[in-house]
C-alpha cells in the first residue's frame, strides 16, 4: 500500500485507519527521516485505538505506554539508543508479547530484535507538507 498525506491530520487518519483491526501483538516498525511524520502517525494509532491520552515523542525516554484503548499502545523511539543492550534494560522483548500494539520509530536500527511478522512502514518527505507513507 502507498498513501500520500498532505497535512498532519491526514497522516494521523492513515494511522487510525491502519490500526483499526490490528490484532494484539502487532509490531509496526516506522522508518523515515526526522520530521517525516512518524510521531504524528502514532498519534493516529492512539486515536484509532480509542486512547485519549495525548501522545508525545518518546525520544528521550525510549518508551511511552498508553492504556485505556481497545489495546495497549507501546510507543518506542530507537533514535537515541546506542547499543542493543539498552533494549534489554527496558525489557523490550516483554512488550512484544504483552498483548498490545508496538509502534517503533527508527525500528530498522535494531531490526534483528523485531519479530518476523512485524510490519515496516516507510515515511518519506516529498515537500514541506507532503508525505508518502508506504507499507
Ligand X SMILES: Nc1ncnc2c1ncn2[C@@H]1O[C@H](COP(=O)(O)OP(=O)(O)O)[C@@H](O)[C@H]1O
Instruction: Please say which residue, 5 or 118, places its beta carbon nearer to ligand X.
Output: 5
Query: Using the rule CB under 5 A, which residue among 5, 22, 31, 38 binds Mg ion?
Result: 38
What whole-number distance in Å separates Cα of residue 21 and Cα of residue 86?
31
The distance of closest approach from Cβ of residue 4 to Mg ion in the complex, given in angstroms and rounded to an integer, is 20
Residue 107 within binding range of ligand X, rule CB under 6 A: no
Query: Using the rule CB under 6 A, which residue among 15, 32, 58, 107 binds ligand X?
Result: 32
The closest alpha carbon to 130, from 41, 3, 2, 5, belongs to: 5
Query: Using the rule CB under 5 A, which residue among 8, 13, 17, 57 binds Mg ion?
Result: 57
Instruction: Please say which residue, 25 or 65, places its beta carbon nearer to ligand X.
Output: 65
Binding mask 96-135 for Mg ion (x = CB under 5 A): ---------x------------------------------
Query: Using the rule CB under 6 A, which residue among 28, 31, 37, 103 binds ligand X?
Result: 37
- Give the DSSP per-residue string, 6-27: SSHHHHHHHHHHHTTTPPTT-E
- What is the separation, in whole angstroms, between the first and last Cα of the chain? 5
H or E segment and range at residue 78 = none
Collapsing DSSP to helix, strand or coil, 63 comes out as strand
Cell digits of residue 126: 516529498
Q: Interface with Mg ion by CB under 5 A: which residues?
A: 38-39, 57, 105
Amino acid at each position: 500500500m502507498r498513501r500520500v498525506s498532505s497535512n498532519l491530520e491526514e497522516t494521523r487518519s492513515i494511522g487510525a485507519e491502519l490500526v483499526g483491526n490490528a490484532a494484539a501483538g502487532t509490531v509496526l516498525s516506522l522508518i523515515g527521516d526526522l520530521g517525516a511524520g512518524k510521531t504524528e502517525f502514532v498519534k493516529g494509532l492512539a486515536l484509532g485505538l480509542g486512547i485519549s491520552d495525548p501522545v508525545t515523542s518518546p525520544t528521550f525516554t525510549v518508551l511511552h505506554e498508553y492504556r485505556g484503548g481497545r489495546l495497549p499502545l507501546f510507543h518506542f523511539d530507537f533514535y537515541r539508543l546506542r547499543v542493543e543492550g539498552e533494549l534489554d534494560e527496558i525489557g523490550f522483548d516483554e512488550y512484544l508479547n504483552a498483548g498490545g500494539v508496538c509502534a517503533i520509530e527508527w525500528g530498522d536500527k535494531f531490526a534483528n530484535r523485531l519479530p518476523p511478522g512485524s510490519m515496516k512502514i516507510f515515511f518519506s518527505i516529498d515537500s514541506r507538507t507532503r508525505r508518502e507513507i508506504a507499507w
